[in-house]
Copies of this chain bind each other. A is one copy, B any other.
C-alpha cells in the first residue's frame, strides 16, 4: 500500500473522518488535544450551516455568513488536520481510504458524509429541478430565481411571464416550508420594488407534499400552525399530492392535473451515498449505513458512521432510525468522541430530543419543546437565538446578526447579485 497523501508521521493512532458537516466537525473539535492524529477529509474546504441555505436562496443572507473555512476552525488545534479531497473508496482489510489525491491509512475510520438529494429514480426531475443541499446549490437557486425575474421583465408574453415568475416547491418538511415562506416574503416586500413593471398577481408559490400534513417530524399543532402561516403569506399548499414528472416547464401532478413553472425546487427526500468497498448489505433504508448503539458500522470494530449517514439499530425509542437532523449528528459525535477518548468504558448512544423549531416568516415560527409547544413571535425569536448561537465563530455570528437585524427592519437586503460562474473562453 502506498500512502501518498502528505501527513505528519508520528506514533499517534490516526482517526480519519469523512465529511466536515455537523457530525464530522463536532467530532474533530472534541478530539482536539487527544492522543489521536485526526484527519478530516471533505471535498469542500468549508463547513456549511445547512439550516440557513434557504436564506441564501432567498437573497437574505451572505453565503459566507453560513460557510466556515475548516482550516480557520482548526488553526489552533495541532492534532487536527484537514485535507480537501474526495473519498473514492475504502479498503477495510488493509485499513486505508482512497481519495482523489491518494491513499490514507487509518486506525479508525468515521463516515460522516451525510446524505444527498433523492429524486426517487426520476431522471427528469433530477435534470430539471433545483436541489438545495449545498452552498453552491443554494447560490444557484438564488441565481435561478433572479434570472427568471430578469427574463420575465424582458418578454411581453403574459404566459411566459407567469411561468418565469412562478415557483413550485416539492416537499413539506422544514426546508420546503421555510423556503416557501422566505420566497413569499420576497414577493411581498422585495420583488415588487425591484420589478415595478411586473404584475405580481401572476406570481404563484405552490408547495406540494405527498403526506396529509406539513412538518411531519413535528407536532400536529406545529403542522397546523405552519399551514395557517403559509396561507397568510399566500403560499398555495397542496397536501396528499405527488409530482409525477417535470419536463419543459410542465409539472405533472399525481391527480392528473398539471401546471407550468420555470422554477421547481426539490426538497422531497434525501438518500445516503454508498461508498465503494463497503458491502451493499450494510446500507439499509434510505441508503443509510447500519450501525450499532456505539455507531460501529455493523461487523467492524474500527469503522464508524455518524449523523445523517447512519441508521442506528437497537434504540427501541427510534425503531425507524433517528431523525436526520443536526441535533442527532452533534450528539452522536459527542458520544463517539467521549468513547474514543475513554477507551474502555464505552457508552451506548441515547438521543435527547431538545425540541424542534421551524420559521415560516417574520414573527411566524413554530416551536415544539419537550415541555411545551408554541408559535408566533416568541417562537421566532427563539429560532433566531438558537440559530445564531449555533453558528461557529464570533465574527460570523455578529455578521449574521447584523444581516438579520438589517433585513428585519428594512426588509430589503442588497444581496440580489447574479454572479454567473466564471468560465474561461
Interface contact A45-B196, CB-CB below 8 Å: no
Partner of A422, one of B46, B83, B139, B424: B139
Name the one of B78, B102, B412, B414 contacting A64, with C-beta atoms under 8 angstroms: B414
Contact A197 B8 (CB under 8 A): yes
Q: Write the chain B residue with the least CB distance to A424.
A: B127
- Which residue in B6, B147, B421 is a CB contact (below 8 Å) of A421? B421
Choose from B68, B69, B414 the contact partner of A395 (Cβ within 8 Å): B414
**In residues 65-100 of chain A, which contact B (Cβ within 8 Å)?**
67-69, 71-72, 75, 78, 81, 83-85
Which chain B residues border A83 with CB–CB below 8 Å? 150, 153-154
A417 at the interface (CB under 8 A from B): yes
Interface residues of A in 359-410 (CB under 8 A from B): 393, 395-396, 399, 402, 406, 410
Please give the count of copies of this chain that the complex contains: 2
Across the two chains, which residue of chain B brings its CB closest to A43? B420
Of the residues B126, B406, B422, contact of A137 by C-beta under 8 Å: B422
B residues in contact with A126, CB < 8 Å: 425
- Closest B residue to A84 by beta carbon equals B150
Contacting residues, chain B, for A8 (C-beta < 8 A): 197
In contact, B422 and A422 (Cβ under 8 angstroms)? no
A418, CB-defined interface residue at 8 Å: yes
CA distance A8 to B198 in the complex (A): 11
Tell me if A155 counts as interface (CB < 8 A to partner B): yes
Q: Number of contacting residues on A, CB 8 A?
A: 64
Nearest CB in chain B: distance from A287 CB, A: 17
Which chain B positions have C-beta within 8 A of A151? Answer: 101
Report yes or no: B194 in contact with A72, Cβ–Cβ below 8 A: yes
Residues of B contacting A402 in the complex (Cβ-Cβ under 8 angstroms): 399, 402
Give every chain B residue within 8 A of A150 (Cβ-Cβ): 45, 83-85
Query: A4-B156, A62-B62, A395-B413 provided; 7 other pairs, C-beta below 8 A?
Result: A45-B416, A62-B64, A64-B414, A64-B417, A84-B153, A101-B155, A137-B422
26 pairs from A and B in contact (CB 8 Å cutoff) = A6-B156, A6-B197, A8-B197, A44-B420, A45-B146, A45-B417, A62-B64, A64-B414, A64-B415, A64-B417, A68-B414, A69-B194, A69-B414, A71-B195, A75-B194, A83-B154, A84-B153, A101-B155, A102-B154, A127-B424, A134-B422, A136-B420, A137-B422, A393-B414, A399-B402, A421-B422
4 closest residue pairs by CB, A with B: A421-B421, A84-B150, A140-B422, A71-B194
